[in-house]
Structure 1
Amino acid sequence: MTTEGKNDLDVFAQEDGEYMLSPVPESERRPTWKQVMVWVGFGYVVTGLFVGGVLAGFGGQPGVPPGMALWAIGIGMGVLLVLTTLLGIMAQKTGLNLALISRYSYGSIGSNLPLFIMALLTLGWFASITGMVGQIWSSLIGNPTGITVFNPAALGYTDIPAITLENFLACAVFGLIFTYTAYKGMKAIEAVAIPVAPVILIIAIIVGIGMLNEGGGMGNFLTEANKIGGLGMGSAITIVMGSWIAGVVMGVDLFRFNKSIKAVFAGAIACFVLTNPLLNIVGYIGAVSVGQFNYVEWMIDKGIIFALIGVVAWTTSLWTTNNAELYCNSLYVGPVISSYKKKVNRQKIVLVTGVVGTVIGSLAFYQIFFADFITILGAAFLPLAGPLIADYFIVKKGAYKIEELNSQAKYKMAGIISFLIGAVLGLVFEYGLVLPFGLPSGLVALIITIALYPIIYRFTADSKELTAEA
């Protein structure tokens, strides 16, 4: 970016080297192998196991047989891979984070719409993951104090266990640890991810085989799994995509540090071909074979050594993911504040959001809201990426002028309108109008959003950009 393109807020936001309001220069790009390890760790999150459990009808809910489960995982992850790669290419080519790249399709102030949504989503994810870690440590420690901090049954959630003091304290301690490393930035995230990523993949494979054997082997697994039904293919795919749509959009903020397009492909493949599908399958196997998708809960019953290995691996793997959630959250909140001419500091935002997310996570957000949370994500917020993709690849043909970053119109109605239409349609398709052939609601809504954007663009003031360039 030229000197003329900067303002005081840009300089202020760069103090910690994370480039909140300016492109990442080539000199600050990170080694490819380190970025790939970040994506391996980023992709390793309990939601992969949870989704596998949902597909298996965990808890007596509707599910799908194994063949349909594999198709749902394959299609869902395939779509997520393509979307992540497209957004990653945009980020790598420009060096811009989501907040900055959104200005081109939503406007300098209009971009606050996707940023506000992503800030809420990443806060919800941070709280959920913190709750997951607290719950697993509580399972290991038990409740020797006998103290209950919060009982969801008091609010009508009678099937959800009470939040014990041990659970609450585990959430608080690890929430603060996650906050500290996110506070330090991308280099700290890499430092956590690199040693952890290979180990957690090996553990997942070994434990998946162990649960399968305990359930009577492959023959018994297939017999039981083929009895599962009641969930449509479209809903199954939507659940798979919903579990990761926030991560897909967050990819912009991670891929801007990549040195090449090859690194974008490698990172996306590490997450959506290697890591997450493996967790989906392990979660499915566990739910069918031993009645538990969470393999750490299964390991806890196998003795103290297995329990400690499982809990420590679980915690460190989720550490990487929660680092990314909180790190990216600050990159959404900061630009929203700065758009109103207020000075911002990324690290202070991390601290405030980390504390808020830790408190929410300690009070059963994961246990109460998570299942509905990811379904709504898949249905309504998948179209969030539509205007970004349509503007960069279809309308602008991959030619963004960085020097025009701070001179974009305040509101670009093509992006705002197409996203809002897509989000509403996603919810209608998921909860009201049933789509033919079991098509996934979020994916259809995204396709409609991408198709609408260039049409609406031609009839708004946005199109003057292309006319002026011509």
Structure 2
Amino acid sequence: MTQATPAPPQVEHTSTEEYMLEPVPVHARRQRWSMFVIWVGFGYVPTGLIVGGQLAGQGDKPGMNFPSALFSIAVGEGLLLLLTVLLGVAAMRTGLNLSLISRISYGKKGMILPMLIMAMLTLGWFASIVGMVGSIFDVAVGDLTGITVFRGLSLEYVLLCLFWGAVFTWSAWRGIEIIERISGWAAPFVLVVAVVAAILMVSEYGGIGAVLAEASTRSGMSQGTGVTIMLGAWIAGVIMGVDIFRYAGNNKHVWVGAAACFVLTNPLLNIVGYLGAIATGDSNFITWMAVKGALLTVTGVILWVLALWTTNMSELYCNALYVGPAAESMGWRVRRGKIVIVVGTIGTIAGSLGFYSYFFADFITILGAAFVPLAGPILADYFFIRRKEYATANPNEMPPVRWPALISFVIGAVAGVIFQYWLPLPWNFPAGFAALILTFILHIVLSRVMQHRPEQQQVVSAHYDSPAALLR
């Protein structure tokens, strides 16, 4: 189906819109250093430390020795790197954010369901990270006023959450440039402190020999389970990376950004978390720093805030890129800046009222199992079904629904929840990742079966200047 349509109206772009409803043009692409520092900051989250601690085994839970942990880290991070690069290349070539690239795969209205799930997920993460910042201040400062506001939450906790939530919201409102700037000067600091903290913890335990001797006694966790833990912890961030890599200038920039997270930052945090769990019983070295005197306490608090700042503004930044195009598909045009402010306010209030403490685990587990499959139709479409269309079609001129993508996503989302709660897979294989594989295969099969349906025909948009054509 070839559409010879008049030139579409120009989408107004302002400094705060961040190409929400149009591809990022070639002249707005960022440099290699930008991709590097943004992904270092994006990847520096407590999840990496927690995963390392899980590999070590804490309390009565099984773990694995250090060589086995290194193998699981290498395999898991390698798979995450590959998936990130595949999605990143599609984003870089088209210049499209996740919502717009989903319009080609799912249709202009078909993308609404997966994008609303993504919006809920990132809102939950934003609220939780606001709560994490409040928690570390609680550990460092304590309850100074003695005033309890809500369900055991101190006044200090609530006020600090409100303050930092406002800061994170302002940063996301400013857009990719401020994310790059903050990550640029924060990234070296957080990486250096992580290494120094690991050295101090190991030294306190008696040296690396003593730590490795204790690590050699850890057992009970299989390699398959170790790799599974690695994949499940970061598969969400892999898909969100589309919204960052649309600013990349070429394939090398995609590789540099992905490697910054999955070769440098995340493996480093995994190893530090592993060593910390062996040496101190706690994978989060910042908690250890907070009780080791004023200097380490202040350093740990600064590090925690910077690390979570770089991550949380990316969560809110991406959220607006899901909500805005989804709303536009329903006929409502809302500016990105307004979305950031409204969602940031909701997330800040939720974070200050204890979302992290009371709801985070179940909320993230359910949505994490359900949303990951949305990448399956994008990958299958771009690399196997209709790659040419991604370079020639205006995402605003797509058919309402492309059924292979929507059907395969719904089946994959349901399967992800079933795998998570009722039908666990062998070796604890991550439910979301298994559902992604299922959706990928199912989309290819359904696309072949339905290839003669009208909405499945290729769309070629007149007067559409695709970044892919200029990047060839």
Aligned pair 1:252/2:245, yes or no? no
Q: Match of 1:305?
A: 295
Q: Unmatched 5+ residue regions in structure 2?
A: 461-472
SS in 2 for 1:385: helix
Q: Match of 2:40?
A: 40
CA change 1:5–1:297 in 2 (3 A) is farther
Summarize the alignment of residues 51-450 of structure 1 with structure 2, pairs less than 5 Å apart: 51-58=51-58, 60-151=60-151, 162-229=152-219, 231=221, 233-373=223-363, 375-376=365-366, 379-397=369-387, 399-436=389-426, 439-450=429-440
Q: Match of 1:27?
A: 27
Contact 1:48–1:276 (CA under 8 A) maintained in structure 2: yes
Amino acid at match of 1:27: H
Amino acid at match of 2:341: L
Q: State the alpha-carbon separation in 1 of the partners of residues 248 and 183 from structure 2.
A: 16
CA change 1:341–1:380 in 2 (3 A) is closer
SS in 2 for 1:168: helix
SS in 1 for 2:241: helix
CA change 1:166–1:468 in 2 (3 A) is closer
CA change 1:251–1:282 in 2 (3 A) is same
TM-score scaled to structure 1, two decimals?
0.90
Number of aligned residues: 457
Quote the offset at 1:181 in angstroms.
0.9
Quote the offset at 1:388 in angstroms.
0.6
TM-score scaled to structure 2, two decimals?
0.90
Contact 1:55–1:284 (CA under 8 A) maintained in structure 2: yes
Amino acid at match of 1:171: C
Q: State the alpha-carbon separation in 2 of the partners of residues 60 and 281 from structure 1.
A: 20
Q: Unmatched 5+ residue regions in structure 1?
A: 152-161
Quote the offset at 1:5 in angstroms.
5.2
SS in 1 for 2:149: strand
Q: State the alpha-carbon separation in 2 of the partners of residues 224 and 16 from structure 1.
A: 52
Amino acid at match of 1:276: N
Contact 2:92–2:249 (CA under 8 A) maintained in structure 1: yes
Quote the offset at 1:387 in angstroms.
0.7
Aligned pair 1:460/2:450, yes or no? yes
- After the TM superposition, which of the residue ranges 17-26 and 262-271 deviates more from structure 2? 17-26
Q: State the alpha-carbon separation in 1 of the partners of residues 340 and 9 from structure 2.
A: 23
Amino acid at match of 1:129: I
Amino acid at match of 2:155: L
Q: CA RMSD in A?
A: 2.5
CA change 1:3–1:243 in 2 (3 A) is farther
Quote the offset at 1:250 in angstroms.
1.3
Amino acid at match of 1:312: I
Post-superposition Cα deviations, 1:351-370, rounded to whole Å, max 9, x if no partner, equal 11111111111222223344
CA change 1:329–1:193 in 2 (3 A) is same
Quote the offset at 1:274 in angstroms.
0.3
Contact 2:402–2:456 (CA under 8 A) maintained in structure 1: no
Q: State the alpha-carbon separation in 1 of the partners of residues 102 and 85 from structure 2.
A: 17
Quote the offset at 1:48 in angstroms.
1.3
